Amino acid sequence: MSDFGKLNDYIIGASIKKLSAVECDQRSSNQHELNGTKQMAQYLGKDRITYPASFIRLEDEEEKIEFLQGSVTWYDARESHPTRSEYRFYYQENPAIALSSAGDALVVILKKDGEIIFVSAPEGSQSEIELHELFDESITDSFKSFDFTENNEELTITKRFILEEVGFELNANFGKDYLGIIESKFGSLAFPTTKEFSQLARDTSGELADFESVDEAIINWWDTEEAMFKQLEATIINDRLETGFQDADEFLSFSQSIRQRRYARAGRALENHLACLFETSKISFSWGQKTENNKTPDFIFPNIESYKDPGFSSDKLTMLGVKTTCKDRWRQILTEADRINEKHLFTLQPRISTNQTNEMQDFKLQLVVPKAIKDTYKNNQQDWLWDLEHLVAHLSSLQ
């Protein structure tokens, strides 16, 4: 079983649709209501009820995520009628609706803890594609509903990625208990360096030779470290909450440190595993070395010395950027190594839009994803995409 459980460990039911003008344009309507369906009543119930709610607006630029906590009321507008029902949501003003336009996607999710999530994304955006991928369904003008109580699908890396995008805190306690392994290795339940943590994840999940391919190895190493990290983080947070805080500032400082650690660790952990993979595959590289204008690409092949040698052919140079997610941030790597005309980017991002991958091709950026994630892309994109095995073969041929 997956360390992160199944979809129905987190979701009771969900519905998805395209918003109409009357539902999101304040010039058309100030009612703050959405029409529901009888299918939604199967997981939301038939009685009037007010749910705690989170309202989330996703944009392709990560810093543009909008978030508000509040409540929504689910009710039958014809509850006194003997035969007819007309289910509706009444909601407060919120970014998920207020920042939307006609045609944007809206997902309503009832979480296992009883909270409702309203999350919207622009039509045609990368974020809309991710919502589509979560439910494996096209988005139409009417709500499509899903009852997850009988859904035994385990959480893949792709599904986990999308759930976290819409605000889920995933629990890593459905599989192996890693706390004993961590304490045995480091002597206490405290965070080691990212390099040490990544090494322990590989020691625990297996060496490169234990897997059928480099693509399988990178996913297993990443999954294991994610589960280990979440179990350790949960323990440390719970211990700190029991100790308590002197004031709000101390609590906010602790919360900020959690966010910063998560962000810094994720990218570095992926680089750690790739570096081990390259070393084991006998591929020469430089890691985190500066090029022009003080830019720092993640990996230069065969090494930074060759890059800085004007007599070394640029055709034998390769640059690899690494981003756990990319969305619009892939453009950042385009200026990181001027001598290299065609650059490469490795990511765990599932199903990037065709518009984005077409633009990458225009800028001579080759996207690289693990095979398990490559399957989420459209067939015409897969023809162009590289998996990690392809990248390793390419690097080996140049060396």
How far apart CA 197 and CA 228 sit, in angstroms, is 9
Burial of 141 (0-12, 13-18, 19+ CB in 10 A): exposed
> What pLDDT was estimated at residue 26?
57
> What pLDDT was estimated at residue 28?
47
Distances (CA, A) of 188 to 182, 192, 343: 8, 10, 42
pLDDT digits (tens, 9 = 90+) for 262-313: 888 888 999 999 999 999 999 999 999 999 999 999 999 999 999 999 999 9
Contact 41, 84 (CB under 8 A): no
Q: Which of 16, 119, 41, 116 is nearest to 71 (CA)?
A: 116
> What pLDDT was estimated at residue 1?
61
Query: Which residues does the chain have with pLDDT short of 50?
Result: 27-29
**Pairing status of strand 343-347 against strand 365-368:** parallel
> What pLDDT was estimated at residue 83?
65
Reading the block at residue 66, the tokens are: 């909008």
> What pLDDT was estimated at residue 33?
85
CA of residue 389 relative to chain centroid, distance? 23
pLDDT digits (tens, 9 = 90+) for 38-82: 999 999 999 999 999 999 998 877 555 788 999 999 999 887 676
> What pLDDT was estimated at residue 25?
64
Contact 379, 354 (CB under 8 A): no
Catalytic residue positions, numbered: 307
CA angle 206, 208, 210 (to 5 degrees): 55
Within 10 angstroms of residue 379's Cβ, the number of other Cβ atoms is: 6
- For 68-98, the DSSP string reads EEEEEEEEETTTTSSS---EEEEE---HHHH
